[in-house]
Amino acid sequence: MDEADRQLLRRCRVQLVRELQVADLWDVLLNRQLFKPDMIEDIQRAGSGSRRDQARQLITDLETRGSQALPLFISCLEDTGQHGLASMLRTSRQAAKRDPEAIRPRDLQPVVVGPEGLGLEEPRGVRQDPPKLTPGAQQRPRGNADLAYILDADPCGRCLILNNVNFSPTSGLSTRSGSNVDCEKLRRRFHSLHFEVEVEHDLTAKQMGQALLALARRDHGALDCCVVVILSHGCQASHLQFPGAVYGVDGGPVSIEKIVNIFNGTGCPSLRGKPKLFFIQACGGDQRDRGFEVVSTAPEDRAPGGNPEPDAAPFLDKSGACDQPDAVSSLPTPSDIFVSYSTFPGFVSWRDRNRGSWYVETLDGVFEQWAHSEDLQSLLLRVAHAVSEKGVYKQIPGCINFLRKKLFFRT
């Protein structure tokens, strides 16, 4: 397929994904030998298998089907009675041949911040000038849907924030002052990134599990992503793939591994093939890291009343033994999963009573400045670098990444 036809498909991607009736096309696509049977089966299994996911995959794969793929596809649309889409593509293609400038992707973000191949659209209307990048900002590399997840739904996904602040006296865990600051920052941030945000406060371990199960059982077929944020006390826990556990307000631990497992392909089929992101602001243990070289802290870190608090607590089972296994079940291949931890497993995560946690404060600031131009992994590298330079006691965020593609948020 030549570049003009590719640009046309990318320009029309949103309308095609929204309106394309794929069930009527399979036989016609096979008869015209535009796709082979095994390729059709792969498209039908795309994502959650919903019409929308299949349509998106079909448009993506169409770019690989040769120089005559687009005119053949237009004929398939006409044969199945989808004359509106056929007419739109045919007219646009003819206009592009008369005037190559007509096919410039005016409805897409400029290449400087979002390559056409990523399929990241902005609202239709008057074309805007490319936004000026902050000095040092990296440009997104050119690519296509094979290299980056497409987040073109609106909202692009659901975001659930579990914010545990007030713990029962019997739990032995302190009030997490400053966590509401974190919660509000993240609620605003993910709302600005086109997520539908829900917040739950002060849940027991059982209630946390119920809230997560309820989210996993909802239909995500029309969405492109899912985010879970947990703000709580935490501890070490034995694991197979994802370390750590977080506490409910009753003092009951819930392992990160169990939380992630709720959203695997079996537990949440409508999120198959879609990125599932987990952000954990909690201690991974009670070790205090002084670093290999102690440097002076920033003035605000030394201000009266500004002493940071840890989110650590030892994990005790009923027998009193510490850090016993609480997650022993194996996960299926954990594709499309990204878990961001506020601290290295086994170490304390610091939180200021007035400003919130180091991790969330930095995460929010980095997303605000760089999310328009950098992918998720690059953003989290910036967070890790900035947090690692704070305070006398040290902290280093980290992540476990099973994403198959780059992820750029919509901004």
Whether the CB-CB separation of 211 and 173 falls below 8 Å is answered with no
Active site residue 233: yes
In one-letter notation, the amino acid at residue 88 is M
Q: Give me 29's structure tokens.
A: 């696509």
Give the model's pLDDT for residue 356.
83
Sheet holding 276-281, edge to edge: 195-201, 157-163, 225-231, 276-281, 337-341, 398-401
Query: In angstroms, rounded to a whole number, what is the distance separating the alpha carbons of residues 266 and 219?
Result: 14
The end-to-end CA distance of the chain, in Å, is 30
Query: In angstroms, rounded to a whole number, what is the distance separating the alpha carbons of residues 245 and 239?
Result: 10
Q: Give me 76's structure tokens.
A: 């398939």
Instruction: Classify 320 as helix, strand or coil.
Output: coil
- Each residue's pLDDT, cut to its tens digit, for the chain (411 residues) gives 788 888 888 888 888 988 999 999 999 998 888 888 888 888 888 766 788 888 888 888 888 888 888 989 998 999 999 998 988 898 888 887 776 554 443 333 332 333 333 333 333 333 334 344 443 334 444 335 568 999 989 899 999 999 999 999 999 998 998 899 999 999 999 999 999 999 999 999 999 999 999 999 999 999 999 999 999 998 877 767 788 899 999 999 999 999 999 998 778 889 988 999 999 988 643 444 333 343 434 444 443 445 566 555 544 434 433 332 223 333 344 689 999 998 766 566 666 777 888 899 999 999 999 999 999 999 999 998 888 877 556 677 889 999 999 999 998
Q: How far is CA 320 from CA 160, 316, 317, 324, 348, in A?
A: 32, 5, 5, 10, 21
Residue of 194, 220, 233, 239 marked active site: 233
Residue of 156, 183, 235, 283 marked active site: 283
Q: Does the predicted model carry a pTM greater than 0.85?
A: no
Query: In angstroms, rounded to a whole number, what is the distance separating the alpha carbons of residues 77 and 168?
Result: 62
Give the model's pLDDT for residue 291.
38
Q: Which domains does the chain have, with CATH numbers?
A: 3-102 (1.10.533.10), 157-401 (3.40.50.1460)
Query: In angstroms, rounded to a whole number, what is the distance separating the alpha carbons of residues 376 and 265?
Result: 22
Active site residue 322: no
Query: In angstroms, rounded to a whole number, what is the distance separating the alpha carbons of residues 78 and 360?
Result: 52
For the chain, the residue count is 411
Whether the CB-CB separation of 225 and 275 falls below 8 Å is answered with yes
Ranges assigned E (strand) in 59-185: 157-163
Q: Which residue has the tokens 């409805």?
A: 107
pLDDT in tens, 283-301: 643 444 333 343 434 444 4
Query: In angstroms, rounded to a whole number, what is the distance separating the alpha carbons of residues 98 and 389?
Result: 57
Contacts of residue 132, defined as CB under 8 A and 6 or more positions apart, other chains included, come to: none
Q: Closest Cα to residue 399, out of 286, 251, 260?
A: 260
Taking each helix axis from N to C terminus, what angle separates 69-79 and 83-98, rounded to the nearest 10 degrees?
A: 150
pLDDT in tens, 337-357: 999 998 766 566 666 777 888
In one-letter notation, the amino acid at residue 55 is A
Q: How far is CA 218 from CA 100, 150, 226, 249, 404, in A?
A: 45, 21, 11, 25, 23
Phi, psi of 227 (to 5 degrees): -125, 135
